């Protein structure tokens, strides 16, 4: 039994049972239930329950206040109530990605791949063992049963990757996992490629004039983006039918219409769009190659890993096969032959520099896989989520690709990856020279990417102290205020006096309109009615919690105090609108450093108070927490005295 299972069971039972839960979300301090009938909830029991701070009814929500452990309790409640993975649960605020569109895409992709990174890396290593057996012993699936078994063990995971992605995408988009698996299974249906070919030959490969098409590879095996898009569409369809379908038939009607609509949409929209994109990309690269092979190598080397992510690399594979069949050699994919080794280089540097043990444990098998030419564990598990290492890998790959094009290297074999590709560059007329050029550029790829990554900071992935974390410079006002405070020697790293994180008007905590804060249930502190939309660090600290909507931030101060700064009341409902974070969870921050910016007018126009409580949530660990300021206060001035 998990730590909070018993508490979760009690909460579910006393909000009226799982049948009474219409919707569940959470913010930084409380579970936010939407109940079918609030009269069925036993409020007094929950208020007095150990582990529950209090209960608040507001805004049509039944709010069970938990405190700092709300994410863990929320996870248990969704399990107990049968909401996780496809009940009546909508996407909660904890799933909202931060940043620009690319940041959200990266967060989505890494979140989908994270659950199965271990098996993915393991399958990649098995593929490497299979390649070694083929290269050294001459084994293949026709002369060795053991080889055939290991080949299935290594390739099976990658062949049917859409099924794994369908499962984790369903969890990400909050839809029924088995409905998502049914959609993924349709995409990899084994007889589908032959069926499409037969229909095309008969001139029947369309539905209402829309082509029934598959990707350039001939199937959706090993693809990534189509199934993610399919499950995303399915989640919206499922949510719609869940709302309008009577409970008595919801069990089969909702998945029926979800599958019935999603699968045709995927084949008739995703397929044609992917084919059009592939054709355009193929034409573009062909034109560039005819214009300048050097530029072609630069572009293909730099973009290859991105193209693989979207499945667009298949646009060039048929051209390479055709060239090989006509000439006995190919150079179309030459610039794409070594990006796996740039991943090897950055991973090696990351393993040396990172202080996160989890990153080290993921990077080790990913590095081994990359040597064998399998880069999915490296890209999706480490370098893409970190962004900077991925950029380095692409940049070095571009330069290596241009170098290979300059030397006009050609491949005389087709299909080998990683360290097993080199014999394929020994030509009948060129001898060993092309192979040694490839070996030389492999060394360049590894060393250059390793060296560059060693010179730049390694981002954190899972929290904890960042390595060489760069910090956003404080505003002029914050610098001035902090300088004034430090000049009087009233604030220091070990001081019991806490500086104000905001500029505005001091409000007694008892006067805050939210009873969770005004009652002191969450801890003692103060509140500020801000006049400037910026929160700065009130002391040297570590960011222990940053809610994805950026409306609340938790700090672990060096004196042991745990501080919660909650910008406005019920501002979680803004879903991040008007809030911008300048730090991330796990960052080390210094006095006066900007933490979060917010638009006061956006909050007020939405009808929410901007009053911001500043709470010491572990007040019981201290002798007293006392306000030292009244009236107007400027960020950096003394605000609270914390005595041990």
The answer to whether the CB of 79 falls within 8 A of the CB of 24 is no
Q: Name every residue whose Cβ is closer than 8 Å to that of residue 554 and which is 6 or more positions away in sequence.
A: 28, 68, 543, 544, 545, 546, 562, 563, 564, 565, 617
Structure-block tokens of residue 467: 């390595």
CA–CA gap between residue 26 and residue 47 (Å, rounded): 18
27 is catalytic: yes
Q: Is 8 helix (H, G, I), strand (E, B) or coil?
A: helix
The answer to whether the CB of 359 falls within 8 A of the CB of 462 is yes
Q: Where do runs of H (alpha helix) occur along 160-224?
A: 161-173, 177-187, 192-201
Structure-block tokens of residue 70: 């709300």
The neighbouring-strand residues paired with 529 are 505
The answer to whether the CB of 176 falls within 8 A of the CB of 238 is yes
Of the candidates 458, 462, 459, 491, the residue with the CA atom closest to the CA atom of residue 590: 491
Encode 604-635 in three state secondary structure.
Answer: HHCCCCCCEEEEECCHHHCCEEEECCCCEECC
The answer to whether the CB of 584 falls within 8 A of the CB of 460 is yes
Phi and psi based region of residue 599 (left: phi greater than 0; alpha: psi -120 to 50; beta: remaining): beta
CA–CA gap between residue 96 and residue 572 (Å, rounded): 11
The answer to whether the CB of 132 falls within 8 A of the CB of 195 is no
CA–CA gap between residue 167 and residue 32 (Å, rounded): 27
DSSP single-letter state for residue 373: T
CA–CA gap between residue 537 and residue 533 (Å, rounded): 14
Q: Which of 8, 15, 24, 27 is catalytic?
A: 27
DSSP single-letter state for residue 511: G
Tokens 């610039």 sit on residue: 335
CA–CA gap between residue 185 and residue 171 (Å, rounded): 17
- Angle at CA of residue 369, ends 339 and 168, nearest 5°: 100
The neighbouring-strand residues paired with 535 are 596
β-pairing, 638-643 vs 624-627, is antiparallel
CA–CA gap between residue 66 and residue 56 (Å, rounded): 11
CA–CA gap between residue 81 and residue 76 (Å, rounded): 8
Burial of 476 (0-12, 13-18, 19+ CB in 10 A): exposed
The sign of the dihedral angle between the CA atoms of 255, 257, 263, 265 is: negative
Structure-block tokens of residue 434: 């092309």
Known catalytic residues are 27
């Amino acid at each position: 039994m998990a730590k909070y299972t018993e508490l979760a069971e009690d909460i579910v039972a006393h909000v009226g049972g799982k049948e009474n839960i219409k919707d569940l979300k959470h913010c930084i301090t409380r579970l936010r239930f939407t109940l079918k009938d609030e009269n069925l909830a036993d409020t007094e029991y929950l208020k007095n329950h150990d582990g529950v701070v209090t209960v608040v009814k507001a805004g049509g929500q039944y709010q069970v206040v938990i405190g700092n452990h709300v994410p863990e309790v929320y996870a248990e409640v969704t399990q107990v109530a049968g909401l996780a993975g496809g009940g009546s649960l909508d996407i909660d605020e904890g799933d909202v990605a931060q940043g620009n569109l690319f940041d959200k895409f990266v967060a989505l992709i890494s979140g989908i791949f994270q659950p199965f990174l271990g098996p993915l890396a393991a399958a990649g290593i098995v593929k490497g063992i299979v390649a070694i057996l083929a290269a050294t012993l001459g084994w293949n699936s026709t002369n060795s049963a053991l080889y055939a078994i290991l080949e299935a063990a290594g390739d099976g995971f990658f062949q049917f990757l859409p099924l794994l992605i369908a499962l984790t995408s369903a969890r990400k988009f909050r839809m029924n996992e088995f409905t998502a698996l049914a959609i993924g299974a349709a995409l990899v249906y084994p007889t589908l490629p032959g069926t499409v070919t037969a229909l095309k030959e008969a001139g029947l490969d369309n539905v209402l004039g829309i082509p029934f098409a598959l990707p350039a590879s001939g199937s959706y095996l090993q693809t990534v983006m189509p199934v993610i898009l399919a499950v995303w569409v399915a989640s919206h369809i499922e949510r719609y039918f869940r709302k309008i379908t009577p409970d008595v038939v919801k069990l089969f009607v909702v998945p029926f219409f979800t599958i019935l609509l999603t699968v045709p949409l995927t084949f008739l929209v995703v397929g044609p769009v992917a084919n059009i994109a592939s054709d355009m990309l193929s034409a573009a690269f062909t034109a560039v190659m005819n214009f300048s092979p050097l530029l072609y190598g630069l572009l293909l080397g730099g973009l290859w890993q991105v193209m693989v992510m979207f499945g667009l690399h298949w646009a060039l594979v048929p051209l390479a096969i055709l060239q090989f069949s006509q000439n006995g050699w190919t150079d179309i994919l030459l610039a794409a032959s070594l990006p796996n080794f740039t991943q090897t280089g950055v991973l090696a540097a990351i393993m040396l520099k990172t202080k996160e043990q989890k990153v080290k444990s993921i990077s080790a098998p990913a590095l081994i896989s990359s040597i064998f030419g399998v880069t999915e564990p490296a890209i999706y598990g480490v370098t893409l989520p970190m962004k900077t290492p991925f950029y380095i890998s692409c940049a070095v790959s571009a330069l290596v690709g241009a170098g290979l094009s300059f030397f006009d290297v050609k491949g005389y074999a087709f299909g080998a990856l990683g360290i097993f590709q080199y014999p394929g560059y020994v030509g009948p007329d060129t001898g060993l020279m092309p192979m040694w050029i490839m070996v030389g550029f492999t060394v360049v790829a590894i060393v250059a990417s390793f060296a560059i990554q060693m010179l730049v900071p390694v981002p954190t992935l899972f929290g904890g102290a960042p390595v060489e974390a760069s910090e956003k410079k404080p505003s002029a006002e914050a610098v001035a205020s902090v300088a004034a405070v430090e000049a009087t020697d009233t604030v220091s790293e070990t001081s019991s006096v806490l500086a104000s994180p905001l500029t505005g008007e001091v409000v007694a905590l008892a006067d805050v309109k939210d009873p969770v804060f005004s009652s002191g249930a969450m801890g003692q502190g103060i509140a500020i009615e801000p006049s400037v939309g910026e929160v700065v660090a009130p002391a040297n600290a570590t960011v222990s919690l940053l809610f994805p909507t950026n409306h609340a931030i938790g700090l672990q101060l060096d004196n042991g105090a745990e501080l919660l700064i909650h910008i406005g009341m019920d501002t979680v409902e803004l879903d991040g609108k008007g809030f911008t974070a300048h730090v991330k969870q796990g960052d080390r921050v210094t006095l006066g450093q900007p933490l979060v910016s917010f638009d006061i007018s956006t909050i007020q126009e939405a009808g929410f108070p901007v009053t911001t409580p500043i709470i010491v949530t572990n007040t019981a660990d201290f002798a007293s927490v006392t306000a030292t300021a009244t009236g107007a206060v400027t960020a950096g001035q003394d605000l609270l005295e914390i005595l041990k």
